[in-house]
Amino acid sequence: MSDDLTDLKLDLVEWVAKQPRLYTEVMEVWRTSCPRLPVWEDSIDDRLLARRRDPDHGDMVDVTEKGHGFLAAHRRDAA
């Protein structure tokens, strides 16, 4: 995995970790049609993020346990 892609995945996982995110919001902000930057797809495939159905809000995106580990291992400023 390239450093650029790791940085982008870190950005995405950090962004989702800040607050609950609707799937539609994540898709609006992060989906790309560029096959060289599959940030969303790779984050899902790597099980850093997961989709779930919330009865009150619809489809949501959450950081998984593995995603929290990814954040801890790659956090730029370990504060």
Tell me the pLDDT of the chain averaged across its residues: 86
Which range is most confident: 3-7, 33-37, 40-44, 72-76?
Answer: 40-44
Please tell me the pTM assigned to this model: 0.82
Q: Give the β-pairing of 21-22 and 49-54.
A: unpaired
Q: Where are the domains of the chain?
A: 3-74
Phi, psi of 37 (to 5 degrees): -130, 65
Architecture in CATH for domain 3-74:
Orthogonal Bundle (1.10)
